[in-house]
Amino acid sequence: MRVAVLKGGMSSEREVSLVSGAECAKALRIEGYDVTEIDVAPNLWEQLHAADPDVVFNALHGDWGEDGRVQGVLDLFGAPYTHSGVMASALAMDKHRSKAVLRDVGITVSEGYLVPRLAAAKDHPMDPPYVVKPNGQGSSHSIYIVHEGEGPAAAMAENEAMGELVLVEKFIPGRELTVAVMDGRALAVTEIIPQTDWYDYEAKYADGGSQHVVPADLPQNVTDLCLTWASLAHQALGCRGISRSDFRFNDINADLTDIVNKIVMLELNTQPGMTPTSLAPEQAAYDGLSFGQLCRWIVEDASWPR
């Protein structure tokens, strides 16, 4: 079977995607597939026809990779492909609109709204502490945390890559948790302990940037709610294949009889990192799947249209 692995691309997460794609391609070759690696360019349509794959493995991250646009090209191309389709990808990537769906099915999400970037750089859009982030990017790029007593994040006035509208959210203190979902089933809860001030880009991808504890040492009702909400989010947004949901658990003076108000879902990622030490593959390994077996499952799960 010929598998084309899409990697790289044109987003700010290109370097991460190159690593994910190379690791997946290596694992799939060991599993016996005939693999072509495609460093995605604007002429993706021609690249796909030249590779002529039986299955397309999407290892892209960020805009143009997980926001529905590449998925639209893959729908037109007509070969089975992995991960989520157009609608789920576009919706999950739009943090503001996806939170409306998650809230509607009973998941607690952070308070927030869209504001013009230049206005947020000039005046506080809400009382600190709060977070300002792009509405449609991942990997903790261009995120500003404004603490109590600080002025607004004036530097983002020059950061045009964030877009004209930015998402402002109330800062949620607590422990960083994440849950991978495969085919609608939540695998485990991982606690991420960053070695930096917060779980920023360096903490995610630099060697030693964070410690992953799987399974997380949590009260059982906290674990159960995270697993339930991750599966529910995957279903509510229409995801396929594998996804990863991120949470904050505020256990400071926690009343564990009221955990619904102590756990907040931050977002869902339809294209989680795919190296052997990434969060989703770590949880799959905890569940008994090697990295190669996980990549094989993702290929076998591919379909068209998604």
**Does 92-109+173-270 carry CATH code 3.30.470.20?**
yes
- The question of whether 244 is a catalytic residue gets the answer yes
Confidence label for 26 from pLDDT (cuts 50, 70 and 90)? very high
Residues whose CB falls within 8 Å of the CB of residue 222, separated by 6 or more in sequence, listed in order = 249, 256, 259, 262, 263
- The question of whether 149 is a catalytic residue gets the answer no
Going by C-alpha positions, the residue among 78, 151, 146, 155 that lies closest to residue 117 is 155
Q: What's phi and psi for 234, nearest 5 deg?
A: -55, -45
Q: Could you say which of 89, 135, 139, 142 is catalytic? A: 139
Which of these CATH numbers, 3.90.180.10, 3.40.50.20, 3.10.25.10, 3.30.365.10, describes 2-83+294-301? 3.40.50.20
Question: Is 103 strand, coil or helix?
Answer: helix
- The question of whether 261 is a catalytic residue gets the answer no
Question: Is 42 strand, coil or helix?
Answer: coil
279-285 contacts, C-beta under 8 A, 24 or more apart: 279/178, 279/180, 279/190, 279/192, 279/212, 279/244, 280/180, 280/187, 280/242, 280/244, 282/190, 282/212, 282/214, 283/179, 283/180, 283/187, 283/188, 283/190, 283/214, 284/180, 284/182, 284/187
Q: Could you say which of 14, 273, 296, 306 is catalytic? A: 273
- The question of whether 267 is a catalytic residue gets the answer yes
**Beta carbons of 245 and 239 less than 8 angstroms apart:** no
Q: Could you say which of 199, 267, 282, 306 is catalytic? A: 267
Tokens of 79: 């070969």
Alpha-helical regions (H) of the chain: 14-30, 44-51, 69-77, 86-93, 95-104, 117-122, 201-205, 220-236, 279-286, 291-301
Question: Is 57 strand, coil or helix?
Answer: strand
Q: What is the pLDDT of residues 72-101, one digit of tens each?
A: 999 999 999 999 999 999 999 999 999 999
Q: Could you say which of 8, 9, 11, 13 is catalytic? A: 13
Q: Could you say which of 14, 117, 240, 244 is catalytic? A: 244
Distance, in Å, from the CA atom of 36 to the CA atom of 41, rounded to the nearest integer, reads 15
- The residues pairing with 2 across neighbouring beta strands, listed in sequence order, are 34
Confidence label for 58 from pLDDT (cuts 50, 70 and 90)? very high
Confidence label for 247 from pLDDT (cuts 50, 70 and 90)? very high
Q: Which of 97-101, 104-108, 207-211 has the lowest mean pLDDT?
A: 207-211
Question: Would you kindly state where each structural domain of the chain is located, as residue ranges?
Answer: 2-83+294-301, 92-109+173-270, 115-170
**Beta carbons of 269 and 244 less than 8 angstroms apart:** yes
- The question of whether 103 is a catalytic residue gets the answer no
Q: Which of 34-48, 243-257, 281-295 has the lowest mean pLDDT?
A: 243-257
Tokens of 101: 């769906």
Confidence label for 201 from pLDDT (cuts 50, 70 and 90)? very low
Q: What is the pLDDT of residues 130-176, one digit of tens each?
A: 999 999 876 556 899 999 999 999 999 999 989 999 999 999 999 99
- The question of whether 300 is a catalytic residue gets the answer no
Say what the pLDDT of residue 274 is. 93
Distance, in Å, from the CA atom of 31 to the CA atom of 298, rounded to the nearest integer, reads 12
CATH topology match: 2-83+294-301 vs 92-109+173-270: no
Rounded (5°) CA angle 146-147-151: 60
- The question of whether 139 is a catalytic residue gets the answer yes
Q: Which of 42-46, 156-160, 258-262, 281-285 has the lowest mean pLDDT?
A: 258-262
Q: Could you say which of 23, 37, 94, 246 is catalytic? A: 246
Q: Could you say which of 33, 81, 199, 205 is catalytic? A: 205
DSSP-assigned letter for residue 228? H
Say what the pLDDT of residue 130 is. 96
Distance, in Å, from the CA atom of 180 to the CA atom of 263, rounded to the nearest integer, reads 17
pLDDT at position 23 over 60: yes
**Beta carbons of 187 and 283 less than 8 angstroms apart:** yes
Confidence label for 128 from pLDDT (cuts 50, 70 and 90)? very high
Say what the pLDDT of residue 207 is. 60
Q: Could you say which of 269, 278, 282, 306 is catalytic? A: 269
- The question of whether 269 is a catalytic residue gets the answer yes
